[in-house]
Structure 1
Amino acid sequence: METSRQNESQPSKETLEVGKKLVELCKRGDNMKAIDWLYAENIESQEAAAMPGMPAQMRGIEAIRKKNKEWIEQMEVHSMDVAGPFPHGDRFAVHYKMDVSEKQSGKRYQMEEVALYTVANGKIVKEEFFYMM
């Protein structure tokens, strides 16, 4: 029984490769390419909380593209550190630290979050974000 549990937590090569590619693209600021190349059509996204005009839970690649385009339009990213992937079975985590400014107000602040991604058939099928509000 213990052996099967250990095997379940071992990352698959597929999961690790998807995680490495996501981290590589995010480090280059190519988040939209990551979505286009690595996300499943029926991707599920779960934020820690709903924001004005954005529900906490979304489904479908078009909703995720829209969410990311709005982020790019609203925020200026001064720097972003991306660490990972940290694999476990069919999932991997990525740690993000960002220095950003709201374009409209100019308010600058630091953000930190952990994202947990689930992989199936070589594509990210779920993303979950954890951060302090």
Structure 2
Amino acid sequence: MNTQQVADRLVALCREGKYEQAQDELYAEDAVSLEMPGLPPGALGDAKGLDEIREKGRKWAQNIVEIHGGSVSDPVVADAWFSVAMAIDATYKDMGRMPVEEICVYRVRDGKIVHEQFFYSME
């Protein structure tokens, strides 16, 4: 798959809430996942390798009590990179209800996502 195809598939799966399927289908074994610097203690941080990314996703999902809404934008693609705006309004076990909006940036190599990085406000 080229970058546009990977981006379109990721968006489709995320809109359906199929995050684990997206990881299984679209991520390289050596992919990295980067969060914002300066996260508070106990927050889910960076992950290196598909197994760590899967575990990070599982921990995030297990912390959710209820999802009230969310959205995933269409991707913007440039060469081997694409970005997507995502939003979720959810109630978490450890934080209560908290809406989050972020820009997610991905790099594709050989038809697989090798890098994801999330940008969001921590105020």
Please report the TM-score for the alignment, with normalisation by the length of structure 1: 0.84
1:97 pairs with 71, 87, 107, which one? 87
Q: Percent identity?
A: 37
Name the structure 1 match of 2:99.
110
Matches within 5 A, 1:18-33: 18-33=6-21
Bigger shift: residues 41-50 or 123-132:
41-50
Q: What's the offset of the Cα at 1:55?
A: 6.1
Matches within 5 A, 1:5-24: 14-24=2-12
Name the structure 2 match of 1:43.
31
Supply the distance in 1 between the matched residues of 2:43 and 2:92 (Cα, whole angstroms). 16
Bigger shift: residues 13-22 or 31-40:
13-22
Q: What's the offset of the Cα at 1:84?
A: 1.9
Q: What's the offset of the Cα at 1:47?
A: 0.5
- 2:88 is equivalent to residue 88 of structure 1: no
What are the ranges of 5 or more consecutive residues in structure 2 without an aligned counterpart? Answer: none
Q: Deviations over 1:65-95 (max 9, x none)?
A: 0000001100132211000211011000010
Amino acid at match of 2:58: K
Supply the distance in 2 between the matched residues of 1:123 and 1:22 (Cα, whole angstroms). 11
Amino acid at match of 1:114: I
Cα RMSD between the aligned structures?
Answer: 1.6
Supply the distance in 1 between the matched residues of 2:102 and 2:94 (Cα, whole angstroms). 23
Q: Deviations over 1:28-70 (max 9, x none)?
A: 0000000000000000111013343456432100100000000
* SS of aligned partner of 1:84: coil
Number of residue equivalences: 120
1:52 pairs with 32, 41, 52, which one? 41
Instruction: Check whether the contact 2:44–2:60 (CA below 8 A) recurs between aligned residues.
Output: no
Instruction: Check whether the contact 2:108–2:115 (CA below 8 A) recurs between aligned residues.
Output: yes
